[in-house]
Amino acid sequence: MPIGKKVLDPRVTYMLSNILSDNKARSELFGSNSPLKLSRPVAVKTGTTNDFRDNWTIGYTPNLATAVWVGNNDHSPMAGVTGITGAAPIWRDYMEGALANMPVEDFKAPDGVISLKINPRGCLAYPGDRSAYDEVFLTESQPSQRCALPKPEPKPEPKPEPEEDTSIGDGEIVEEVPEVTDGGTGGGETGNIDPDSDPNEQNRRRQREN
């Protein structure tokens, strides 16, 4: 068997395969269950010409590579058919059938690459960083700066309670409190005894009248 000629650093080819096999990275554009997702790790790329005359999907596992082209025989434009809607379903069905009886293999990292937890800001993730994701780097170009811990959000200061307004304005209803004087009974506004309701006073009046 002829020996192939190495044209690219195997570390770089692994990094390309790592990027192209990241289903989560392409989910924002194609969805998490697009025709590019197989039942095993696979690196894949689609393409579509601007005039919709050609579209293709090219993908590979560690032991099988397949390319599918879709277009019209007369090279006329298609009605909005793209690589994800035209070639990708055909590519997926063929790959799943061809690999059905083959062991599942992942892309093996060669020496000289390292996988690190990275914060979305591009620096090394801090301990407990829930937004971190795995990223592959060449050992000589790996990041060394770690992201600072996020500052805790300041607690909102409690709003002061509004002071009670004791002033009397137009249209306000003021409760009238009865005035009670010393020695009064509290039964009237001034606390004085009503002569007409006092039995002793009534007897004295009758005596004067007789």
pLDDT digits (tens, 9 = 90+) for 111-153: 999 999 999 988 999 888 989 999 999 999 999 899 888 777 7
**Is pLDDT at 162 greater than 80 in this prediction?**
no
- Integer Cα distance of 100 and 64 in angstroms: 12
**Residues for the chain: how many in total?**
210
What backbone torsions phi and psi does residue 14 show, to the nearest 5 degrees? -65, -40
- Integer Cα distance of 83 and 64 in angstroms: 20
- Using only C-alpha atoms, the chain has a radius of gyration, in whole angstroms, of 44
pLDDT given at position 82: 95
pLDDT digits (tens, 9 = 90+) for 184-207: 444 444 445 555 556 666 666 666
Mean per-residue pLDDT, 158-162: 79
What backbone torsions phi and psi does residue 207 show, to the nearest 5 degrees? -65, -40
- Integer Cα distance of 205 and 210 in angstroms: 9
pLDDT band at 41 (very low <50, low <70, confident <90, very high): very high
**Is pLDDT at 16 greater than 60 in this prediction?**
yes
pLDDT given at position 163: 73
pLDDT digits (tens, 9 = 90+) for 62-112: 999 999 999 999 999 999 999 999 999 999 999 999 999 999 999 999 999
CA angle 201–203–204, rounded 5-degree value? 65
Kindly report whether the global pTM for this prediction surpasses the value 0.95.
Answer: no
pLDDT given at position 166: 60
pLDDT given at position 186: 43
